[in-house]
Amino acid sequence: MISPLHKFLAPDAIAIIGASADPTKRGYQAMNGLINDGYSGAIYPVNPKTDTILGIKTYPDVASIPDTADLALICTPAGSVPDLLDACGAKGVKGAVILASGFGEAGAAGKQLEAEVLAASERSGVRVVGPNTSGMFNLHKKVNLLALGNVIPGDIGIISQSGNMLLALALEAENNGHIGFSTYVGPGNQTDVGFADYLRYLGEEQNTRVATFYVEGFKDGRKFLDVASETARAKPVVVYKSGSTRAGQKAASSHTGSLAGSYRMTVDLLRQAGVSVVEKSDEILPVAEGLGLLQKASGKRVAILADGGGQATIASDRLSEAGLRLAKISDETRTALRAILFPQASLVNPIDVAGSSDANLPLLAECMEILARDPQVDMVFLVGMFGGYALRFASELADDEGKTAELIAGLARRTPKPLIVYSLYAPVKPSPLAILRRAGIPVYDSIEHAVQVMAALGERGHYLEQSAATDYPAPVQTVPAMQELFRTAQRQRRDLFEFEAKQLLKTYGVAIPPQRVVRSDTEIEDAVGEFGEQPLVMKVVSKDILHKSDAGGVRLNLSGAQALENARKEILENCKRYKADAEIEGVLVSPMARKGIEVIIGVSQDPIFGPVMMFGLGGIFVEILKDVAFRAIPFSRQDARSMIDQIKARKILEGARGEAAVDKEALIDLLLKVSTLVQAHPEISELDLNPVIAYADGYAVVDARVIVKPADI
């Protein structure tokens, strides 16, 4: 699919509507920027009050423009926009960047105006960037409608819901000196074009090697996930999502009016779609830079080459914390290193050359070469003083240091393995480090940032490897009898009864304990006949009683007809007392489940992301420790497994404290079956299996709840 955005985000002719001769106005600054940058396309200033601006002929209105323009920059007030879009459409303009605010973010009248903008966009065929946007640039095309100084063309595409955030990244890039951008767009209110559309565009845009997003809130999160999981196969997608706390969510919503959603859920879903999620704002640019340059690593095993102690130690700590591993150096590599390094060098990763390179700098390049050759090494991380030898020790070292930089640069061209550098001297930008950077080797002044980059490279390599062989469950056929179950519930304006929910699960292949609904004392005999003397549980069945235990509607460990009869009587009495007008269908009788490990599976329809499954351990793990994982439905077998493995308390599932490990394959199977069932029945608004008891062999679904969408929705 080719994004329609290409037509106007790389425009060959631009109309500036509301062009101005006043240097403080955007309608002047944008024109001035285009001219100064040497934009080669046509510029059509529209201004009825003057004949030329900056030496370019102006037009009184859009209709008077002699040719068409791909893009219109609309600098006029909000109220003028709908008519202008119509005029643009008549002229064949493909897209408009609308700077004005005063739309949906500004009360009821603004909302109305924004609806008119959308209608005009649809009517005219002119796609809308914004309104309420900071603007856009495409530096390779020399289109910089923000007139942002000191930004250089490069490979980072960026979409930021905050103009100041773009500015911060641009200043950071300016200070770095090597980092450049391809396209920037401020999505503004996303009235027409939204995050997912921009992502598709950046995914296709040839100058962009990494698509980077600052997001306060998604409007259509599901669409973004869909496009991301396609795009991420081709190039890295980096997202910083603000609102990780309640305080941040409130701030974001007052800033953009965005619905924040659950942060941890959003992060899980983005990662599922292959997105490299960055959780600190000062890591956005380093990670984007590193992914842009290096794209991915084949694995998470890092060899550290250091010329001193402290930083190698810090790097080791950070690597482990970030889920990376210190590579186990092969014997062959060790032998090769021993042959060239001083005897006191440490040959256990982190490799410390211990002074070997002080008088022989090219040795560092040689060591990197040896490490990069090791099949047990996925990335090589040079840590220490490189770049500063001549500055620190003797200017005579400058030649050697430059030569060494060239050798490392040469290695970078030959090896597919990422080379990453942390240098103490990065803040002072010595020339050897510039040589490395020009060869595509990122150089960091923070070990922490460098490690985040390596973590992102490793994660991305893992994602690509996995997504090459993703195993999605086949969708299931909707079973008519189950559809009927939902229709009945909808007619009766109730949710599914527990026994119906379990019936539903069973129909789609989930193992369900035997169950029997008892509506009279005579039916108790049948239950005894079926279940014999094993201990049973009895629960009330009533659409009017949601919290069965609270109502006294549950009895455990029942055995024999008498116990069942008594229990049924008690339950009915309790429930009447609890809610006098409760309609009681009967009681559900089932064998007690064996002891095991409680887990919870929940499905909900998220307003931003659609159907999402949650998995966690039961009780305090969910309620207090919030130790849960989320995946968007549908998900693959690999996703199901990673959802289980992501839980902090996973060791409990893996057999801690002398217990046997639970049957993880059975749990994975259960997660997949529930996900396909949910797809087959869009009538499901929520589904909760709480608890499921996991065993060394299989599992038992002890309670099941299915909330049904009303029929009229």
Query: Judged by CB under 8 A, which stretch of 12-20, 40-48, 305-313, 400-408 contacts a second copy?
Result: 305-313
Alpha-carbon distance values, 396 to 51, 308, 597 (Å): 63, 21, 67
- Residue 549 within binding range of a second copy, rule CB under 8 A: no
Nearer to a second copy, 248 or 473 (CB): 248
> H helices within 322-446, ranges in order?
331-340, 362-373, 389-392, 398-414, 431-438
**Whether the bond into 682 is cis, omega within 30 of 0:** no
Asked if residues 45 and 58 have their Cβ atoms less than 8 Å apart, the reply is yes
Contact 162, 185 (CB under 8 A): no
Nearest CB to a second copy, comparing residues 392 and 438: 392
Q: How far is the CB of 635 from a second copy (least distance, A)?
A: 26
Instruction: State yes or no: residue 163 binds a second copy (CB under 8 A).
Output: yes
278: amino acid identity, one letter = V
Q: How far apart are CA 34 and CA 30, in angstroms?
A: 6
φ, ψ (nearest 5 deg) of residue 690: -150, 105
Name which position in 84, 88, 99, 424 contacts a second copy (CB under 8 A): 424
Pairing type for strands 628-632 and 610-617 reads antiparallel
Q: Which stretch binds a second copy (CB under 8 A): 293-301, 363-371, 444-452, 507-515?
A: 444-452
By CB under 8 A, name the one of 530, 651, 665, 711 that touches a second copy.
651
Those residues whose C-beta lies under 8 Å from the C-beta of residue 622, and which sit 6 or more positions away, are: 600, 616, 628
Query: Could you say whether residue 177 binds a second copy (CB under 8 A)?
Result: no
Q: What does the DSSP 8-state code read for residue 426?
A: G
Instruction: Give the CA distances from residue 165 to residues 132, 147, 160, 256, 691, in Å, rounded to whole numbers and listed in that order.
Output: 15, 16, 7, 13, 44
Q: Residue 319 CB, nearest distance to a second copy (Å)?
A: 7
CA atoms within 13 Å, Cβ hemisphere of 167: 8
> Is residue 399 involved in binding a second copy (CB under 8 A)?
no
Residue pair 41/12 in contact by the 8 Å Cβ criterion = yes
CB of 117 to a second copy, least distance (A): 20
The distance of closest approach from Cβ of residue 459 to a second copy in the complex, given in angstroms and rounded to an integer, is 19
Does 251 sit near a second copy (CB under 8 A)?
A: yes
Per-residue contact track with a second copy, 316 to 335, x per CB under 8 A?
Answer: xxxxxx----x---------
Does position 703 interact with a second copy (CB under 8 A)? The reply is no
629 binds a second copy (CB under 8 A): no
**Residue span 197-216 as binding mask against a second copy, x where in contact by CB under 8 A, dash where not:** -----------------x-x
User: Is residue 464 involved in binding a second copy (CB under 8 A)?
Assistant: no
| 400 makes contact with a second copy (CB under 8 A) | no
Contacts of 654 (CB under 8 A, 6+ apart): 661, 662, 664
Asked whether position 255 contacts a second copy by CB under 8 A, the answer is yes
Output the smallest distance, CB 171 to a second copy, in A: 5
State which of residues 346, 467, 478, 605 lies at the interface with a second copy (CB under 8 A).
346
Tell me which of 1, 2, 24, 343 binds a second copy, using CB under 8 A: 24
* Min CB(364)–a second copy separation in Å: 15
Q: Treating both helix axes as pointing N-terminal to C-terminal, what angle do 221-234 and 195-204 enclose, rounded to 10 degrees? A: 10
Contact status: 190 vs a second copy (CB under 8 A): no
Strands 42-46 and 13-17: parallel
Are residues 330 and 375 in contact, defined by beta-carbon separation less than 8 angstroms? yes
Q: State the nearest-atom distance from the C-beta of 188 to a second copy, in Å.
A: 12
By CB under 8 A, tell whether 301 contacts a second copy. no
Choice from 352, 401, 459, 498 touching a second copy (CB under 8 A): 352
Q: Is 624 in the site for a second copy (CB under 8 A)?
A: yes
Which residue among 60, 410, 514, 619 contacts a second copy (CB under 8 A)? Answer: 619
